[in-house]
Structure 1
Amino acid sequence: MTTEHKRIAIIEKKEVPLVQWGPYLSERQWGTVREDYSHDGNAWQYFPFDHAHYRAYQWGEDGLAGIADAAQNLCFAIALWNGKDPILKERLFGLSNGEGNHGEDVKELYYYTDNIPSHFYMEYLYKYPQLPFPYQELREQNALRGKHEAEYEILDTGVFNNNRYFDVQVTYAKQSDKDIFVRINITNRYSEAASITLLPTLWFSNQHPGNTMPAQPVITYRNANTVVATHPSLENYYLYFQQPDDLLFTNNITNTEKVTGVPNKSIFVKDAFHDAIIKRKHVKGLRTVKKGTKCSPVYRMSIAAGETKTVYCRLSNTEIDKPFDQGFENIFIVRKNEADEFYNAVLPQHQSEDIKQIQRQALAGLLWSKQYYNFDVAQWLNSSDGITEVNSNKINGRNNDWLHLKNQDIISMPDKWEYPWYAAWDLAFQCIAFAKIDAAFAKHQLLLIMREWYMKPDGQLPAYEWNFSDVNPPVHAWAALQVYNIEKAQKGEGDIIFLKKIFQKLLINFTWWVNRKDRKGNNIFEGGFLGLDNIGVFNRSFPGTNMQLEQADATGWMGTYALNMMEIALEISMHDISFEDTAIKFFEHFVMITEAINEHHLWNEEDKFFYDVLSVYGSEPMPLQVKSIVGLMSLFAVAVIDKKALNKLKNFKKHIQHFNENKINHQSWLNEEQDESDKLLLSLVRPNRLVYLLQRMLDEAEFLSDGGIRALSKYHQDHPYTISIDGVEHSISYDPGDSTSDMFGGNSNWRGPVWLPINYLFIQSIRRYGAFYGDDLLVEYPAHSGNKVNLCVVADELATRVISLFEKDKEGRRKMHGNYNWFYQQKGNENLLLFYEYFHGDNGVGLGASHQTGWTALIADLISELHESKAAVKSENAVLAS
């Protein structure tokens, strides 16, 4: 057991399996719903980036390369100034939703290079231009570009040409959970000397309206190299720092003069350090005062070409006479070695260094995106931020029916900038990647979102803060089963208590789906956009009056949900027979949904494909003949059951036999057995239809790209689909890259790109089919190639294509970097990776959020599974050969 595994074993015994200090500080709090107190609900406009420097937040804090305690009382992050910018670089910049030609987008270069579950070792790299940061140029150039043009990125501005920038690497190494060393390395990558100012900043959160902050929290001068932070809810913490050029204090309160025109009562406001460093205003006053709620030592450095300068800090709950005693730097070497030891134990060995880097940085980004999230909807609706009074538009507006929602937890986020909030179905995928390195945290997260202060009393799960009532796919039972099995494989024993707890909550959510999304009671489900944004020819959440949209994907998801619930109940039944009847109940649900999707008009016999069907009052049902992943999602509902296990569950086995013998009303129930096999296959898709769907999926002229399965068939590139509804024409065509539609803000596209979580599900499902059929079912891969292989090989080949998005080719280029490979091939940048939201359907370039290591971290799991699959084939071949 590695040192880190020993720490994890201690942490997982806690009621909440977390350490007190971690990367819980967001990189953007501005522009979020939580900070929006406007009349019109325009969160981006109400609290833009330009206000973030001088307006105190109500619900959280943000910073650059920062950390915080688990309740975000006390925060630490760095601020920088290159001597030319109009503001300090305290947080990451990006375009708001209305500013980007493809919606919101972070415009910075930063990388999560390492992290481990206990956060005893963490690395973060930020690249800071030496020329003025091109804030206005990025806004103006993106404003000039249309939907059919690429985004104007920071590498397009020229500020990184000739390596005229600083590498700022922030590394955290803990002596103990409450004693943290910080190393800040600043390297001048340019060919000439350059100056930079560094402010390692410590501050208290301010969650109080207006321009007030309780007097109790205070950071006080102790000596020239130490300040002490005192808070009523936190023990004392000492920030130790090496000899600075200056030491400044202020308060984390709003600069009212800039926000409302009301003169400030003192100079000690949130943005005081900007004036002090850049304009040299009030320096003496900020230096002379000996306390405040925000404090920073200041280091002014001139760094020669190629030189690295280092500053050390230490944040500790202990008074230490010599915080930087001789040899203290060794802690960074020790913790780095422990991180190496941990990943050598959990990740497959005998792989290329490049593949190891991909896995490790994917997991590092996932760990860095554990965030403090605080939102009390009732309080938010009925309170003021001291700037805008409470108004009826707000009270009756967004999320007003989620008054029970009171969140204040550390949650796995999709992204610390673009998505600094949790998303229900993203979270499910994130937990699978987490399970490989920290199963206790993965289980905690799945249970957390089911808690009564998250889940609505009627069983609906909160989607995300922009609209908690949006409906996300019901993937949580699947995720719970995956997490359970991953931990079981690790420990040799499954956590049945966890399964029981989450099963009880999932029962409520499943009931909500059945009652709310099956209006006709025929086991054909709705659900609206289901997280797939603009996958449809129109907004599927609002098809129109006197209309009902029966969805192939919603029905496929529900078939998968019923099957997963059955599998969970069966697993629990092996330990507690009282769950056997519940397994039977979900088996019946699965049978009914199977019959419905196969016998209803969702299947188009002519096209051999599943389509959504629009039912208009007084007219025949109309299939929406869009060839998208909506029609392939029925493949997700597949399970292989061990018949030996069934023999222990006599009632369940008897029930299956009864359905087999009495297929009067259930002609489409799908189960298969093979001679001398101890397995039983349950599937939503008939075997012949499985082949039809795979033929389309594996066709390079349709769904199969070099980087995985596209969200929309390439068929629609030359054959756009158009439909007229109520006299209005709606159309959809293949968009391999960024969306050309404004339907959901323009920055989320399911009309052609490759999405990793969906590919992961397809690969998992195909592998299950392959495990059952073996060589008895062969398909052409790719379609029309004449090359016939079994489905296990198909799964491996699809995984290989997805992994190729991240891998270096022979020239050292990565598909995802696209036109920016020139930068990532430079010395020192070769191993820097980004984990995009989705990828171009033709060339594999990364698109959308550039750090959505949430569900894109599944690449780490995909690599491990491919490695295991190839090892199993190699072993099997060796046995056959012998």
Structure 2
Amino acid sequence: MLSFSFYNSTMTNNNLIQKAETVLNNNFKEDKGFTIPCEGLYPFQWNWDSGFIAIGFAHYDATKAKREIEALLSAQWENGFIPHIVFHNDSDTYFPGPDFHQSKLHPLASKTHRTTGMTQPPVLGFVLKELYDIIEDKVDILNFIKRNIDKVYNNHEHFYTYRDPNKEGLVYIYHNWESGTDNSPIWDDIWATMDPPKYKFERRDTTHVDAAQRPTNREYDYYLHLIEIAKEHNYDDAKIAELSPFLVQDPLFNAMLIKSNAALIELYGLIGNSDDKIKTLKQWQTKAIKRFNEKLFNEKLGAYVHYDLRNEKQIEYLSSSSFAPIFADIPNEERVETIVKTMMKKFGTEDRYLCASFDPESDRFNPKKYWRGPVWINLNWLLYRGLKAYGFYDLSNRVKKDSIELIEKYGFYEYFDSRKEVKENAGYGGNNFSWSAALLIDFLKS
């Protein structure tokens, strides 16, 4: 006989999964085959969102998981670049839209889709491996991967060819939106070196979400200025590397690339007849992991940090990105012990949920403001997987438990307050947020 507690837990989990599936199904655009992150606030297709969303779909609707990836790859540029937003549809609820970005300025931009001229953390490689592991029909999913894996490989080749000016195995981002951690305090010191004009624009995000939870208008001036520089030079990578005041080697971005390299090696091994690509991927891996550990680890802080390539210095702040390399098997056993100690000392006190997106002990920490402090489910999912792989089972289970508890308590929000004593609703940003729903499904089924 099942115990009541087990039965009750199973009922609760099944209920949560049903709610998560409803969120994903409601946000899926059947006519275009992609999923919006949430209604109003994010009405288009976002790059890394779609990767995480596909993982959720894989557990109950393999067709939607595959369509999600195909919709994103349909907008890939001729040079292998995969943009961070694909404007499949029209909407007036988001700024800046396609008319501002003007991706067509680049001669190799998609001829069939309007997009942005920037990218996001490259998750598709490891997402394809996740789909293979989850979906039961191995023949069908492997055939799908065979049709699409070279597109992901070409994206990685683009990064190492055009975004690695020192040929050291670490690629740069030229805009904070490419990091995925849009308004992180990490960027504050770079903004201090810039003095962009005050642009005239109409914010759309603050009509959907409390402005206290979003970047300021002045921050948007920096964001738009970086895009204007890129547009002025037709999104040419070489010119951007030469002229952009924002040029950063991001530990989260590079860790996702390294993890995806490893996944492509495994998948090409399953497919066969791919020795040349596997050889190249292994060469990228060896160089990237070595340089990552040499250049991005900060001994004083006991974790990985961002590197300001424009000014040739580390940016010495801790964020959830500092721990993401655990997911990509980058640190050795000794170093991972150091990183975990740092995380627990700064982020893992008993009065907090793991893992805040920025150092809670910093004067720049803001528990309600986007990437300046709140907990994000996607970063927690990466940490959970990484900690588990290194054998930190109790800690990985805490990250999983905290993530589920936040959603169960507050709903499928975009991000959450890390402080346990908060009495009001501590779910912030967009509600019915797709990757929160998708990754909850994976948490409960893993």
TM-score by length of 1: 0.38
Q: In structure 2, what is the Cα distance between the partners aligned to 1:350 and 1:481?
A: 33
Task: Select which of 430, 434, 437 maps to 2:53.
Answer: 430
Is 2:299 the counterpart of 1:605? yes
AA matched with 2:394: V
AA matched with 1:713: D
Q: In structure 1, what is the Cα distance between the partners aligned to 2:78 and 2:327?
A: 29
AA matched with 2:16: I
In the superposition, relative to structure 1, how do residues 435 and 624 fare at CA in structure 2: closer, same or farther (>3 Å)?
A: same
Task: Select which of 373, 385, 392 maps to 1:752.
Answer: 373
Number of the residue aligned with 1:593: 288
Number of the residue aligned with 2:111: none
Of the two, which has the highest radius of gyration? Answer: 1
Number of the residue aligned with 1:762: 383
Number of the residue aligned with 2:320: 629
Q: In structure 1, what is the Cα distance between the partners aligned to 2:353 and 2:246?
A: 37
SS in 2 for 1:449: helix
In the superposition, relative to structure 1, how do residues 710 and 450 fare at CA in structure 2: closer, same or farther (>3 Å)?
A: same
Is 2:189 the counterpart of 1:534? no
Confirm or deny: 8 A CA contact 1:736 1:752 kept in the other structure. yes
SS in 2 for 1:355: helix
AA matched with 1:418: L
Structure with the bigger percentage of strand: 1
Number of the residue aligned with 2:109: none
Q: In structure 2, what is the Cα distance between the partners aligned to 1:349 and 1:447?
A: 39
Number of the residue aligned with 1:141: none
Post-superposition offset of 1:494: 6.4
Confirm or deny: 8 A CA contact 2:301 2:318 kept in the other structure. no
Is 2:94 the counterpart of 1:445? no
Post-superposition offset of 1:610: 1.5
Confirm or deny: 8 A CA contact 1:365 1:853 kept in the other structure. yes
Number of the residue aligned with 1:365: 23
Post-superposition offset of 1:551: 2.6
Confirm or deny: 8 A CA contact 1:478 1:564 kept in the other structure. yes
In the superposition, relative to structure 1, how do residues 705 and 461 fare at CA in structure 2: closer, same or farther (>3 Å)?
A: farther
Post-superposition offset of 1:461: 1.4
Post-superposition offset of 1:520: 1.5
Post-superposition offset of 1:567: 1.9
Q: In structure 1, what is the Cα distance between the partners aligned to 2:378 and 2:247?
A: 28
Q: In structure 1, what is the Cα distance between the partners aligned to 2:47 and 2:442?
A: 20
Listed one character per residue, the Cα deviations across residues 38-85 of structure 1 (whole Å, up to 9, x for unaligned) are xxxxxxxxxxxxxxxxxxxxxxxxxxxxxxxxxxxxxxxxxxxxxxxx
Number of the residue aligned with 1:614: 308
Q: In structure 1, what is the Cα distance between the partners aligned to 2:349 and 2:322?
A: 11
Q: In structure 1, what is the Cα distance between the partners aligned to 2:138 and 2:309?
A: 50
Q: In structure 1, what is the Cα distance between the partners aligned to 2:246 and 2:84?
A: 24
Aligned positions of 1:203-222 closer than 5 A = none
Deviates more, 1:501-510 or 1:560-569: 560-569
Is 2:197 the counterpart of 1:502? no
SS in 1 for 2:390: helix
Confirm or deny: 8 A CA contact 1:706 1:842 kept in the other structure. yes
Post-superposition offset of 1:850: 1.4
Confirm or deny: 8 A CA contact 1:474 1:557 kept in the other structure. yes
In the superposition, relative to structure 1, how do residues 499 and 615 fare at CA in structure 2: closer, same or farther (>3 Å)?
A: closer
AA matched with 1:860: I
Post-superposition offset of 1:355: 2.7
Post-superposition offset of 1:508: 1.4
AA matched with 1:437: Y
Q: In structure 1, what is the Cα distance between the partners aligned to 2:367 and 2:302?
A: 24
Listed one character per residue, the Cα deviations across residues 182-226 of structure 1 (whole Å, up to 9, x for unaligned) are xxxxxxxxxxxxxxxxxxxxxxxxxxxxxxxxxxxxxxxxxxxxx
AA matched with 1:595: K
Post-superposition offset of 1:701: 4.8
In the superposition, relative to structure 1, how do residues 419 and 491 fare at CA in structure 2: closer, same or farther (>3 Å)?
A: same
Is 2:128 the counterpart of 1:480? yes
Post-superposition offset of 1:698: 2.6
TM-score by length of 2: 0.74
Number of the residue aligned with 2:428: 847
- Structure 1 stretches of 5 or more lacking a match? 1-347, 374-408, 638-682, 721-732, 740-748, 771-790, 808-813, 817-833, 866-882
Post-superposition offset of 1:694: 1.1
Task: Select which of 393, 401, 416 maps to 1:792.
Answer: 393
Listed one character per residue, the Cα deviations across residues 430-480 of structure 1 (whole Å, up to 9, x for unaligned) are 0000000011220222123212xx111111113124351222110011111
Is 2:227 the counterpart of 1:579? no
Aligned positions of 1:814-829 closer than 5 A = 814=409, 816=410
State the Cα RMSD in Å.
2.5
Confirm or deny: 8 A CA contact 1:835 1:856 kept in the other structure. yes
Number of the residue aligned with 2:440: 859
Q: In structure 2, what is the Cα distance between the partners aligned to 1:371 and 1:424?
A: 15
Is 2:330 the counterpart of 1:687? no
SS in 2 for 1:523: coil
SS in 1 for 2:51: helix
In the superposition, relative to structure 1, how do residues 858 and 701 fare at CA in structure 2: closer, same or farther (>3 Å)?
A: closer
Q: In structure 1, what is the Cα distance between the partners aligned to 2:347 and 2:397?
A: 20
Number of the residue aligned with 2:77: 456
Confirm or deny: 8 A CA contact 2:355 2:375 kept in the other structure. yes
- Identity among equivalent positions (%) equals 19
Aligned positions of 1:325-474 closer than 5 A = 351-371=9-29, 409-451=32-74, 454-464=75-85, 465=87, 466=97, 467=101, 468-474=116-122
SS in 2 for 1:613: strand
Post-superposition offset of 1:493: 5.4
Aligned positions of 1:104-143 closer than 5 A = none
Listed one character per residue, the Cα deviations across residues 318-345 of structure 1 (whole Å, up to 9, x for unaligned) are xxxxxxxxxxxxxxxxxxxxxxxxxxxx
Listed one character per residue, the Cα deviations across residues 132-154 of structure 1 (whole Å, up to 9, x for unaligned) are xxxxxxxxxxxxxxxxxxxxxxx
Confirm or deny: 8 A CA contact 2:413 2:430 kept in the other structure. yes
SS in 1 for 2:84: coil
Structure with the bigger percentage of helix: 2
Q: In structure 2, what is the Cα distance between the partners aligned to 1:703 and 1:364?
A: 34
Q: In structure 2, what is the Cα distance between the partners aligned to 1:501 and 1:695?
A: 43
Confirm or deny: 8 A CA contact 2:58 2:65 kept in the other structure. yes
Q: In structure 2, what is the Cα distance between the partners aligned to 1:848 and 1:355?
A: 24
Q: In structure 2, what is the Cα distance between the partners aligned to 1:426 and 1:705?
A: 29
Confirm or deny: 8 A CA contact 1:635 1:762 kept in the other structure. yes
Number of the residue aligned with 1:734: 365
Post-superposition offset of 1:709: 0.9
Q: In structure 1, what is the Cα distance between the partners aligned to 2:276 and 2:12?
A: 49
AA matched with 2:187: V
Number of the residue aligned with 1:565: 264
Listed one character per residue, the Cα deviations across residues 723-764 of structure 1 (whole Å, up to 9, x for unaligned) are xxxxxxxxxx00111x2xxxxxxxxx1111000011111111
Post-superposition offset of 1:616: 4.8
Q: In structure 2, what is the Cα distance between the partners aligned to 1:364 and 1:555?
A: 33
Listed one character per residue, the Cα deviations across residues 683-704 of structure 1 (whole Å, up to 9, x for unaligned) are 3112111111111223365688
Q: In structure 1, what is the Cα distance between the partners aligned to 2:251 and 2:286?
A: 16
Post-superposition offset of 1:491: 4.1
AA matched with 1:625: E
Q: In structure 1, what is the Cα distance between the partners aligned to 2:351 and 2:413?
A: 17
